[in-house]
Structure 1
Amino acid sequence: MAASLVEHALAQISLVPLYGGGFWVAFTQLVVFYYTVGALLHFVVPRIVPVKGIQVQPRKQGDVLRDAIYSIGPLAVKAGVWAAVEELHRRGWSLTYTGPISGTASLAYCALCVCLLDYLHDTWFYWTHRLLHWGPLYRTVHLIHHKSKAPSAFTGYSFHVVEALIVFANEVLVCFLFPLHMGLHRYYHLYTTLIHEGGHVGYELAPFIPTMEGAVTLLLRGVRPCDALNTVQHHDMHHRYPTKHFSLYFTHWDRICGTLHPSYYKDLFSYFPTRPVPAAAKSAAAMR
């Protein structure tokens, strides 16, 4: 079933160009990808793989459907952002480029771009996320996202369209910071959709969160989480403790700015009983 869903999604996406097709092509890509990934993470994976739920409270009836419906607006905003990136490229006003990617140097540069995009995305997300928790913005905009106390995969983009404009603005800004291939821009920002959905899925994926940094740490460290990288538990706790855990990929901004919850490491490592609690966790616990 999971394989057939993926094949269907890929078939639908392959019917349209990767980029350059305007708003409706972008919107089609996003809708097919978002709801297919959401269905896999929410309905399929827990039925074929043993998972341990993170949430301490059950989801309310109707929450998943509500979040799936609320996600349509932000998906449309993201598609509009992609259409704007295409227009900037067409006019030659950005640093984006096209053409084949081949050779070691080109591939290495693309890998470097992914690392830069991860860091910039995480930084943008942290500080705009904190801004969205400012009283007036929280009550009028961000509160929609926090209606989900026990989030699901469909909570990933379940937020106000104003929040979508703020969150997705970085996808335009990066086009002015360094040369970026249009194909990589599209693939990367389609992939971040999976990250947002996975971060809300309600069960732990670490250390199998599919980022470049996660793949490297999995290769070097094996099946145990890295203190510097986020987990599903990290963002899930944000929905229970809204003044903590504002980052996306990495934990450094939360540690530097004092927004890492003191019990995070203790709660996380209950999933990995053979993994010793790091010194950072002991220090945080001592400060409580």
Structure 2
Amino acid sequence: MQEDFEKIVRIFSISTIRYILFAGIPFVLYYIVLSSKSKKAKIQVRLSSKQDYKRELVYSFQMIVVTTLIGYFILFTPFTAYTKIYQDVNEYPIWWIFVSVLICLIIHDTYFYWMHRLLHQPKVFRLVHLVHHKSTNPSPFTSYSFSLLETIAENAVIILIVLFLPMHKLGIILFVLVGFIINVYGHLGYETAPKWFRNSFLFQIINTSVHHNLHHSKFNGNYGLYFRIWDRLCKTENPNYVQEYDRVQSNRFGLKN
């Protein structure tokens, strides 16, 4: 029992540190330290209220608790025997760890897109998704601000993944970390993509902070998490996305629209 408690505390501590590093530090940098210098990169001119930040922090703590319990469940309970999680790093080629992370991102993006569209059905929205959309002008803290039901739904994807996809613990850690960093970027409230990104093939595939910010300000469209693919295939991408992205980037770099 003591050993199990120590494992839970360890996972909780790691999750909290991750949140502080990858959500807390960007918030301090962009919203406090560099707020005047980064003003041109701000997607929505206005700032959220202190009450918004407090609400997001409370729900973020809930998310950390749930992710801790799910992490413990898939790694340290008898459930592990039913998963494809492997302990010996040499059981698969080293490169598989990184390929498995990429596959996880693709699976997660697909899962998220269709779940997200379901959450925007009126009755489901009010019951499950409204908490997240109270942040009409998102900040890094919004990345973990969900109702309890949505928190569980958001985290269920990792349980599904480890049931069918061979994953080393390092791959799981990398997937969770990369996914969280991208999530924070999507909710940052500032566009940080480099100038060259607009004319690269990556722009046609990968979401930006502007892309998800439009979802929060308009409440529909742009349902994808990591990629633009599903939104473009299903014609749910906001028609003003590229124009809005160019507007923000022209402010940043002094370019003509």
Does 1:251 find its partner at 2:238?
no
CA-to-partner distance for each residue in 1:9-54, whole Å, 9 max, x for gaps? xxxxxxxxxxx96332211111111123222111124635943100
- 1:30/1:190 contact within 8 Å kept: no
For residue 71 of structure 1, give the secondary structure of its aligned residue in structure 2: helix
Does 1:175 find its partner at 2:150?
no
| Percent identity (aligned) | 28
The one-letter amino acid of 1:142's match is H
- 2:23/2:141 contact within 8 Å kept: yes
For residue 65 of structure 1, give the secondary structure of its aligned residue in structure 2: helix
RCO higher in 1 or 2 (8 Å CA, sep ≥ 6)?
2
Aligned-partner Cα distance in 1 for 2:74–2:148: 18
For residue 222 of structure 2, give the secondary structure of its aligned residue in structure 1: coil
- CA pair 24-266 structure 1, distance change in 2 beyond 3 A: same
- The TM-score, its normalising length taken from structure 2, stands at 0.85
| Aligned equivalent of 1:116, options 93, 100, 103 | 103
Does 1:75 find its partner at 2:64?
yes
Q: Normalized per residue, which structure has more helix?
A: 2
The one-letter amino acid of 1:266's match is Q
Residue ranges of structure 1 left out of the alignment (5+ in a row): 1-19, 209-216, 278-288
For residue 148 of structure 1, give the secondary structure of its aligned residue in structure 2: coil
The one-letter amino acid of 1:76's match is V
Aligned-partner Cα distance in 2 for 1:64–1:190: 22
- CA pair 44-244 structure 1, distance change in 2 beyond 3 A: same
Deviates more, 1:91-100 or 1:136-145: 91-100
- The TM-score, its normalising length taken from structure 1, stands at 0.76
Partner of 1:9: none
CA-to-partner distance for each residue in 1:242-281, whole Å, 9 max, x for gaps? 111111111011111121001000111234459999xxxx
Aligned-partner Cα distance in 2 for 1:91–1:36: 29
The runs of at least 4 aligned residues of structure 1 exceeding 6 Å deviation read: 274-277
CA-to-partner distance for each residue in 1:139-161, whole Å, 9 max, x for gaps? 12210111111111001011101
Does 1:24 find its partner at 2:24?
no
CA-to-partner distance for each residue in 1:63-106, whole Å, 9 max, x for gaps? 1122112211111111111111113577521111012459xx82
| Aligned equivalent of 2:115, options 120, 125, 128 | 128
The one-letter amino acid of 2:226's match is Y
Once the two structures are TM-superposed, the CA of residue 171 in structure 1 deviates from its matched residue by: 0.6
Aligned-partner Cα distance in 2 for 1:164–1:23: 18
Aligned-partner Cα distance in 1 for 2:188–2:128: 22
- 2:186/2:212 contact within 8 Å kept: yes
- CA pair 116-162 structure 1, distance change in 2 beyond 3 A: same
* Matched positions, count: 245
Aligned-partner Cα distance in 1 for 2:233–2:54: 37
